Structure 1
Amino acid sequence: MCGIIGNVNSVQGLRLDLLKHRGPDGEGIWNDGNLCQLGHTRLAIIDLDERAAQPMISRSGRFAITYNGEVYNYKELQQRFLPDFEFRTSSDTEVVLELWERMGTEAIKHLRGMFGFAIWDRRERELFLVRDRLGKKPLVYSHVGDTLSFASELNALEGLLPETPEIDPRAIDLFLAYQFIPAPLTIYRNCSKLPPAHFARFKDGRMEIERYWEIEFAPDYSMSEKGAEEQLEEMIRESVRLRLRSDVEVGILLSGGVDSSVVACIAAQECENRMRTFSIGFDYGKSELEYAEKVAEACGSNHLPRIFNEDLALSYWGRVVSAYGEPYGDSSAFPSFFVSETAASRVKVVLNGDGGDELMGGYGKYSPSLSRRMLTPVATAGHALGCALDDFSNRYFGSAKGAKLADRIASSLSPYMKVIRFNHFFSSQYLRQLYLGDVFAEVLGARSSYEKDLLRGMNLSGPLMCHLQRIDYSHYFSGDLLVKMDIAGMSNSLEVRSPLIDHKLFEFAAKLPPEFKIKNGETKYLLKKIAAKYMPREVIYRPKAGFSVPVSSWAGTVVGDSLRLAVNRQSHPMWNYINRSFVKTLLDDTAKTGKNGHRLWLLSILGNWLEMKKS
């Protein structure tokens, strides 16, 4: 796991210091004259020798690579395609590089893992950017004129640009709508995220982006429940086994939930040595620490529990807000930073349970009400109509009540709304009150445009649950969940591997009948049956707890105080976009009712991020 950075046709130097946290074990810069620069910061995991340092040049000298991530099946690829090649290293990087030499972009389909990398072709004078299928590893870029700049993180990309990039108000609105800024947008104009499962080719100042993988939902109703359970368990075991490949110790982030517990128990069986597990509990609300300790006992791990509280959240505030490079509002980022920092004090690599809910139907939003299911045949048209109604009401209805009514009607017209707008804290009814006039005019239609682009061209066939999972993979899953743990881990120089986020597993799960995922109201039905073989039933069959912080309770402390200070400062940069009087009204209303906690949380994140950028 590492940090990558580079540019083409640019005189800007590479700021490796901005990616040092992603790779504290080494760094390097390579250039092809004035044509291309590639930079790399290394977190040494496989082949710890200096010979595996990057950027790396192919044996022929034609290709150069800077690579972030892990291709877990590199040994199998080496044996299958390059059995007679004399490798200089035992790293997965060299396997990827030499495979590219022989196959070009066809090599991507053979890679199994998480990755974001750049390859420069010296002969053709073209650069390729590649991102893994599900979006575990980030890759951002800026294409202006005949210059291309790229990096693992937005903060590092910003350091490559000749001028301070301009903030995009549309991105602010998407953040306040969903709590994250979805691909391909970033907070800045002319800066983009390469979407998952895509590669880009840059040559002669032109950039072409192409999708190389698409998940296909095609439930196989001839599959028996027993056969599906056995195959799923073996595939999870294989995925865990692959992710234990490392030349350094591997630990486990054990939340106490079903997903990480399954990973932990199987990993303990596959690992020769006693594993370390890391858990955190909370001094508020729902804590799964007691269940994590039961699982740790079941798998015989060396367990390290910690407690997260409000004071810790305050101490992490500035670091977390800054780390994502743009406004990011998922409150579980804070405990994720804490557990990552705890684990990084002992190990450099961990496994976690991310992806189980998306893989096996762990959310209630995948099982909508009967009234919403009845709209399945017209779901896409209903969504488009709902978007149109949202935009019309905000453009022409002056009253908040009229916009609120239109918002409720629009949200009921399609079952897709429940997934896309699952975390919809500032729904469209707030737009006119929320923004200054000129900003309102610019953001109007931004959500509709993004959502329609999201659905356009998407293969939405089969049962409704398949539609909803497919949409979620491209929206919340890749835009929020995976972003959270990449930054939380790598900010602490910790590589986080997710056995349940394996494209082979996702392809298999897409063939399962929906009732193998949610049965008689029991979510993750088949995965829980597997879990029962490894751990006590009380760990498995209980209400879902989650990993977030009590945002509503903290509205008057962690977030409320900073917003009140901002409201009292007319020069605060947030008031270049947001209606100051509206925020004051929200604060006053919260003081009386205790409501609006999540809205204030997002506004506080936005305000703090803008102020950091101003300074």
Structure 2
Amino acid sequence: MSGLCGWIGYGTTVNENLQLVQRMAGPLTRFDGGEARTLAAVNSGLAVAATGDGAQVYQKEGLLVALWGRAGLSDPRLAQLARTDGMAKTLADSWLERGEKVLESLTGAFSLCILHERENVALLAIDRMGIHPLSFQISGGCLVFGSSADAIILHPQVKSAISPQGIYNYVYFHMVPAPGTIYLEQKRLLPGEYLIYRKGSVETHKYWEMRFLEDEKRPFKELKQDFMDVLRSSVLEAIGKEEVGAFLSGGTDSSTIAGILGEVSGQPARTYSIGFDASGYDEMEYARIAARHFSTRHKEYYVTPDDIVTAIPQIAAIFDQPFGNSSAIPAFYCARMAKEDGLSRMLGGDGGDELFGGNVRYAKQHLFSLYEQVPSMMRKGLVEPLVFGMPGGAALPLVRKARSYIEQASIAMPARTETYNLLERYGHGEVFTPEFLATVNAGYPASLLNEIYHQNNADSLINRMLAFDRKFTLADNDLPKVAKACELAGMDVAFPLISDQITAFSLRLEPQLKLKGTKLRYFFKEALRGFLPEEIIAKQKHGFGLPFGVWLQHHKPLQALASDSLTDLKSRNIVRADFIDTLLGQHLDEHAGYHGTMVWVLMMLEQWYRQHGIHGQ
């Protein structure tokens, strides 16, 4: 994947600045071998690295521009100029004419930086879905930025103190959600956001938001035709000039990508699947159904516990902050198969659920929302006294279910989505040391969830949840998971299901076509009926889940790695030693699958510290 990095507001000589930005670019190319292109001036430096044609630079009279990714321009005049003069020069000229309005016509997956040294002004921006991340830090009036924190902390002006709040947020979310980072003074741009730096201060603004058109009604036949057209054009655009393959889990999204890829390329798609020899975790059967249906050139690999032990330090090293989504490991082994076949880009199916209503929690929250429609007087005066006041009710299964339903339905969104949060279940006082808790705001995750949820003005519950998941599920979790796993394998990745075209289509789709009662992604499945195998349309959602807790019970090297990591974590005085002992002993014995998740999260925290050479908290 590579990326970009640089700064403005600090300098020695142009030659020394060039050497510094070259050092900063080192972490961007260490895994995928992308070539870094560097620029420097008196008070600034800029580098961008990518495989293929994903990096563009331009420099003229104190103006430095770098673009990372596959960007386009919706304005026909600008698009023509980009074809003749190059994208970076076109953006530079447009910036001088229109300032930040240059972003209005920019499309695709990208990170952009424009440094105007004479004015001491900078523009940073990332794409609408947050595919290409960008972090930044102000230090001594100097703006330092990069796609990876590992590049930023190499700048001499930057202090790399760890943020206790970042650690707390990681254990809560299993990743560090933007705009925060693991470093005390660093921030991260949100999807569709840009930053303006002027003489030592910064402002961030949105240049694009998800705006749903919920009342637009169109005939199904017309919708289906438009949908298939944007699917084909999005996959074709994602292919570019690369030799591509596709992840194939056997789910709706990956199967759709595999089928469309074969159709638009005119040859059997190259598809790759991961399996696990563990009951309840293996989905290879469905991947094989899709591979046969679309006649793909299919390869499989069964990940073993030994593979997990080998990959854990590598995964911890590739991420620039702690990351606890264990399915990064199967994604890595999948991408590695494609790399061994000589391919240069993978197509991921991520985003279909978050645009078309495919996550199981959407149906669950819809059911809870029905209770809100019951008149308050009836709820408080009749239903709840009856259910909770029934003598011996706790012993009756139906009454227990009713009580649980009412208790959860009575919690306002978005807090209701966190009723099963692991940290909340344990209790933060049971997990963290008192000394650590004294340095953090334990209420921050809830306030961040609430802030993001209420930013969108959609009328329907489903669309509010989709906008919410654009950030927390996609930009903060699934996209970096796949992107970093591919980078570790030396592969590029594209996500055709969240192209600007498909996103625009989903924003105009009626809410009930995304979630019809409790029927998930209703339109998506109906539109693809006859194209996808019926078994895949009807299957329950699963994914690349890792049977870590199950294997941890029996695999000695995995047990040793987990125990060793958590033992070392004790010395950092973040997590209570007695909690770690109970987690590795009693909790795992009681329910390995459930408690194994927290073992993984804490193990990856310690592994991140180790791989990044950080001692102490």
TM-score, with normalisation over the residues of structure 1? Answer: 0.85
Moved more, 350-359 or 509-518: 509-518
> Where in structure 2 are the equivalents of 1:239-250 lying within 5 Å?
239-246=234-241, 248-250=242-244
Q: Which of the residues 19, 24, 36 maps onto 1:27? A: 36
Q: Structure 1 residues 249 and 98 mapped into 2: Cα distance closer, same or farther (>3 Å)?
A: farther
Partner of 2:539: 542
Partner of 1:267: 261
The offset of 1:591, in angstroms, is 4.3
Partner of 2:10: 10
- SS of 2:124 mapped into structure 1: strand
Q: Structure 1 residues 19 and 84 mapped into 2: Cα distance closer, same or farther (>3 Å)?
A: closer
* C-alpha distance in structure 2 between counterparts of 1:278 and 1:491, whole Å: 17
Moved more, 581-590 or 331-340: 581-590
* C-alpha distance in structure 2 between counterparts of 1:348 and 1:479, whole Å: 24
> Where in structure 2 are the equivalents of 1:168-183 lying within 5 Å?
168-183=163-178
Q: Which of the residues 77, 84, 105 maps onto 1:80? A: 77
Determine if the alignment matches structure 1 residue 134 to structure 2 residue 129. Answer: yes
* C-alpha distance in structure 2 between counterparts of 1:449 and 1:519, whole Å: 30
* C-alpha distance in structure 1 between counterparts of 2:95 and 2:322, whole Å: 36
Partner of 1:49: none
Partner of 1:433: 430
- SS of 1:55 mapped into structure 2: strand
The offset of 1:423, in angstroms, is 6.7
Determine if the alignment matches structure 1 residue 602 to structure 2 residue 601. Answer: yes
The offset of 1:530, in angstroms, is 2.8
Question: Contact 2:231 / 2:497 at 8 angstroms: preserved in 1?
Answer: yes
- SS of 1:528 mapped into structure 2: helix
Q: Which of the residues 274, 277, 280 maps onto 1:283? A: 277
Q: Structure 1 residues 83 and 510 mapped into 2: Cα distance closer, same or farther (>3 Å)?
A: closer
Determine if the alignment matches structure 1 residue 453 to structure 2 residue 483. Answer: no
Question: Contact 2:570 / 2:577 at 8 angstroms: preserved in 1?
Answer: no
> Where in structure 2 are the equivalents of 1:180-199 lying within 5 Å?
180-199=175-194
- SS of 1:614 mapped into structure 2: coil
CA shift digits 1:454-489 (9 cap, x unpaired): 345x12331211222222222222111111112112
Report the residue type matching 1:3 in the other structure. G
> Where in structure 2 are the equivalents of 1:173-572 lying within 5 Å?
173-220=168-215, 222-246=217-241, 248-284=242-278, 285-345=280-340, 346-367=342-363, 368=365, 370-375=367-372, 412-419=410-417, 421=418, 424-427=421-424, 430-443=427-440, 444-455=442-453, 458-519=455-516, 521-556=518-553, 557=555, 560-566=559-565, 568=567, 572=569
Question: Contact 1:372 / 1:412 at 8 angstroms: preserved in 2?
Answer: no
Report the residue type matching 1:451 in the other structure. L
Partner of 2:390: none
Report the residue type matching 1:5 in the other structure. C
The offset of 1:245, in angstroms, is 2.4
The offset of 1:502, in angstroms, is 1.8
Question: Contact 2:271 / 2:299 at 8 angstroms: preserved in 1?
Answer: yes
Moved more, 503-512 or 305-314: 503-512
CA shift digits 1:22-57 (9 cap, x unpaired): 662422321111x110012231246xxxxxx75323
Determine if the alignment matches structure 1 residue 42 to structure 2 residue 50. Answer: yes
The offset of 1:88, in angstroms, is 5.2
The offset of 1:411, in angstroms, is 8.5
Q: Structure 1 residues 161 and 294 mapped into 2: Cα distance closer, same or farther (>3 Å)?
A: farther
Q: Structure 1 residues 95 and 306 mapped into 2: Cα distance closer, same or farther (>3 Å)?
A: farther
- SS of 1:27 mapped into structure 2: strand
* C-alpha distance in structure 1 between counterparts of 2:526 and 2:478, whole Å: 25
Partner of 1:389: none
Question: Contact 1:354 / 1:498 at 8 angstroms: preserved in 2?
Answer: yes
* C-alpha distance in structure 2 between counterparts of 1:332 and 1:451, whole Å: 23
The offset of 1:123, in angstroms, is 4.0
Partner of 2:386: none
* C-alpha distance in structure 1 between counterparts of 2:350 and 2:127, whole Å: 16
RMSD: 2.9
The offset of 1:103, in angstroms, is 3.8
The share of aligned pairs that are identical, in percent, is 24
* C-alpha distance in structure 2 between counterparts of 1:555 and 1:538, whole Å: 32
- In the alignment of these two chains, the number of paired residues is 569
The offset of 1:498, in angstroms, is 0.9
Q: Structure 1 residues 165 and 412 mapped into 2: Cα distance closer, same or farther (>3 Å)?
A: farther
CA shift digits 1:337-379 (9 cap, x unpaired): 111222223211222211111111111211225344434899x
* C-alpha distance in structure 1 between counterparts of 2:610 and 2:286, whole Å: 40
* C-alpha distance in structure 1 between counterparts of 2:6 and 2:80, whole Å: 32
Report the residue type matching 1:219 in the other structure. E
TM-score, with normalisation over the residues of structure 2? Answer: 0.85
Question: Contact 1:574 / 1:610 at 8 angstroms: preserved in 2?
Answer: no
Q: Structure 1 residues 37 and 528 mapped into 2: Cα distance closer, same or farther (>3 Å)?
A: same
The offset of 1:86, in angstroms, is 7.9
The offset of 1:304, in angstroms, is 2.5
5+ residue gaps in structure 2? 12-16, 376-402
Partner of 1:384: none
The offset of 1:541, in angstroms, is 1.3
Question: Contact 1:218 / 1:462 at 8 angstroms: preserved in 2?
Answer: no
- SS of 1:112 mapped into structure 2: strand
